[in-house]
Amino acid sequence: MVLFLVLWLLTPDLARADGGVARLRGEDGPFAITLFSPEPLRVGPTDLGVLVQRGEGGAPVLDALVELELERPDGRTLRAPATRAQAVNQMLHAAMVELDATGRWRVRVSVNSGGDGGELTGELLVDPARPLQDLWLLLALPFLAVGGFALARGLRRRRQALR
């Protein structure tokens, strides 16, 4: 039980829903397009997920060609195809991108399927990386292990003394 709790605390990103939080949503052409990203959105490698649905009925479109175009705050552009092969949730199209600057990034999601096209545009706010604050539990783990060992040893001695 304790091992499960420690592993759960060490992997908070895995406990979140597939794809993260919905950042942008819109309808264009016959499609409803939703862009998902981790929360918080920080500098570094980032998994972006796209859900493409038919406007009527909301059925997921699994055969779409999806491309992400991200414009950095300095104006340079990054392009990445989003595919179902890269997604954990097979209802999504996903792309791993490297967000290497803080600030407002412009994003454009292009969708094509069966001769129909759609587009979603918006902005993403990317925060700075916080490696030490995000890794505090890993840094504290050796101290927790030693403390747990000392506590178990003390309880064992107390139990033996009461016999």
Would you state the pLDDT for residue 6?
Answer: 47
Burial 26-56 (b: 16+ CB within 10 A, else e): eebebbbbbbbbbeebbbeebbbbbbbbeee
Greater confidence (135 vs 118) lies with: 118
Average pLDDT of the residues in 39-57: 91
- Tell me the three state secondary structure of residue 30: coil
Q: Is residue 138 part of a domain?
A: no
Q: Is residue 36 part of a domain?
A: yes
Q: Is residue 124 part of a domain?
A: yes
Structure tokens at 39: 């929360």
Q: Which domain holds residue 36?
A: 20-129
Does 14 score more than 60 pLDDT?
no
Domain CATH code at residue 56: 2.60.40.10
Would you state the pLDDT for residue 21?
Answer: 93
- Tell me the three state secondary structure of residue 47: strand
Alpha-carbon distance of 161 to 150, in angstroms, equals 16
pLDDT in tens, 128-156: 877 665 566 677 778 888 888 888 898 88
Q: Is residue 12 part of a domain?
A: no
pTM over the 0.75 mark = no
